[in-house]
Amino acid sequence: MIDTSVFQDKRAAYFTLGCKLNFSETSTFGKMLSEMGVRTAAKGEPADICVINTCSVTDVADHKCRQAIHRLVRENPDAFVVVTGCYAQLEPEKVSKIAGVDLVLGSNEKANLIQFLSDAFINRSDTPSYKTVKTKDIKTFAPSCSRGNRTRFFLKVQDGCDYFCTYCTIPYARGFSRNPSIASLVAQAEEAVSEGGKEIVLTGVNIGDFGKTTNERFLDLVKALDGVEGVSRYRISSLEPDLLTDELIDYCAQSRAFMPHFHIPLQSGSDTVLRLMHRHYDRQLFADKIHRIKEVMPDAFIGVDVMVGCRGETPECFEETYTFLDSLDVTQLHVFPYSERPGTSALSIPYVVSDADKRERSQRLLALSDQKTHAFYQKYIGQEAEVLFEKATRGRAMHGFTRNYIRVELSPAMAREDYDNQLIQVRLGDFNHDKTALKVEWIK
Ligand code: SF4
């Protein structure tokens, strides 16, 4: 039983590091606490409760988590401080020893954050506690469908991963792949519509692996969500290439609301490196997927994750990656320098890339990414497009995205508050000043 009286008239501050999934989960924590009578502390107002949702994707992320905890403790000296998320799961003892931390909750416990929080709040002691279970025992699924302060909703359809790529700690931090039922996700999408949601992004760790828990298929989830009235747009945050089936690509091409927009992690364009990473595909399979998408959706925006400088990536392997990506009809590269993670099997690969080489490789790929994105945007100058606009600060330009994820800018003179969360037909003009968007020429 949760004692709601302990939360009455309390103020909470939230801080999130890491991926979209974390942001979505934090905003669900906020929603649950507000149902208990807790309001979000205004900027500069001291909080009674601090919730910090951490990430551990790199050593820089770990460092940022510690810094964020120190800062929140300093700014809210009397607050009850709860730390959860991937770093909390992987290093619970270390986190619980940071001065000011009261409670550390691992990945299995965060689904019951309110219960743990109310118990610990009532029996507040000077000794911080941590509650985590071993990776293999992480079984709970913390549902999450939230808007946060953005226009789009983020619907968590899956958690955990069974792939164990050699460089990655996510399976250790989040546990094995698991998912809720299609019926419960459809119900959450319908609720998002009732709250005014027009666009929903499907999030998860390894989304294409959806269905293991419930014996369902990801394609059937996509079909069921496509039928939810009121949702105009869906995007899939990321799909492993080996799980992006031709059937799914073909369905998206003729679907009502799934957008021509894909985000696919490649990581390396060298088969040698892909094998060292224990990825589940080779470069030929990846190229085939890109060709298939472009064949049935020539306007599709394709974002690709690439990791540079991982162990085993010799200069020749990197050149293979570069020429491979250069040859592919993709739109944007998300480039991540490899970071050594304790406990991962990548550490046994002897060939190590220097930081200077990692930087140089990142810069080359980022320059290639800019070229590709600009060439993609260029094709749409002068064309009409439907844009979903997002909230803007008064007096500033408004932004939004086309169906195929081109960022669009509406000048302050043309912006109107009631365009927020509206689908509007526009004509696309030239690039904006820093080439991060196309300007709106006129609104229909
Ligand atoms: S697919 Fe690989 S990189 Fe992605 S979460 Fe799973 S183990 Fe990590």
Tens of pLDDT, residue by residue over 117-133, are 888 877 777 777 777 88
Q: Please give the share of the chain, as a percent, with pLDDT higher than 90.
A: 84
Tell how far the Cα of 378 is from the centroid of ligand 1, in angstroms: 34
- Measured CA to CA, the distance from residue 126 to residue 141 in angstroms comes to 30
Q: Does the pLDDT value for residue 332 go beyond 90?
A: yes
Name the helix (H) or strand (E) containing 40.
strand 39-40
Could you tell me if 272 and 312 are in contact, meaning their C-beta atoms sit under 8 angstroms apart?
Answer: yes
pLDDT at 397: 93
Rounded to the nearest angstrom, the distance between the alpha carbon of 321 and the centre of ligand 1 is: 19
Could you tell me the two tokens for 300? 């599709």
Report the predicted TM-score, pTM, of the whole model to 2 decimal places: 0.93
Residue 214, pLDDT score? 97
Q: Looking at residue 2, what is its pLDDT?
A: 74
Over the stretch 227-242, which tens digit does the pLDDT of each residue have?
999 999 999 999 999 9
Burial 10-22, CB ≥16 within 10 A → b, else e: bbbbbbbbbbbbb
At residue 151 the predicted structure's pLDDT band, cuts being 50, 70 and 90, is confident
Q: What is the mean pLDDT of residues 200-229?
A: 97
User: Ligand 1 in contact with 86 (CB < 6 A)?
Assistant: no
Alpha carbon distance 399, 396 (integer Å): 10
Q: Report how far residue 56's alpha carbon sits from residue 341's, in angstroms, rounded to the nearest whole number.
A: 9
DSSP string across 118-173: HHHHHT--SS-EEE---GGG-------EE-TTSSSEEEE--B--S---TT--HHHH
Tell me if 346 sits within 8 A of 167, measured CB to CB.
Answer: yes
The pLDDT tens digits for 366-412 are: 999 999 999 999 999 999 999 999 988 778 999 999 999 999 999 99
The number of the ligand 1 atom at minimal distance from the alpha carbon of 278 is 2
Is the distance from CB of 114 to CB of 2 less than 8 angstroms?
Answer: yes
Q: In this predicted model, which residue has the larger pLDDT, 143 or 66?
A: 66
pLDDT confidence tier of residue 4, bands split at 50, 70 and 90: confident
Count CA within 13 A, CB hemisphere, residue 256: 12
pLDDT score of 7: 85
Supply 79's token pair. 């607050």
pLDDT at 180 over 80: yes
HSE-up (13 A, CA, CB side) for residue 357: 18
Assess whether pLDDT exceeds 80 at residue 1: no
Question: pLDDT-derived band of residue 6, with 50, 70 and 90 as boundaries?
Answer: confident
| pLDDT value of residue 149 | 61
Alpha carbons 29 and 306: distance in angstroms, whole number: 31
Q: Whose CA is nearest to atom 2 of ligand 1?
A: 165
Answer whether 165 contacts ligand 1 (Cβ < 6 A). yes
Residues pairing with 443 in the sheet: 426
Cα dist from 152 to 62, 89, 126, 207, whole Å? 28, 28, 40, 18
Band of the pLDDT at 44, cuts 50, 70, 90?
Answer: confident
Q: Are 99 and 125 in contact (CB under 8 A)?
A: no
Q: From 312, 287, 303, 311, select the one nearest 335 (Cα to Cα).
A: 303
| Ligand 1 pocket, mutate which of 20, 135, 165, 264 (most atoms under 8 A from CB) | 165
What pLDDT shows up at residue 17?
95
Most ligand 1 atoms within 8 A of CB, residue of 20, 56, 168, 207 to mutate = 168
Report CA(201)–ligand 1 centroid distance (Å). 19
Cα separation, 102 vs 124, whole angstroms: 8
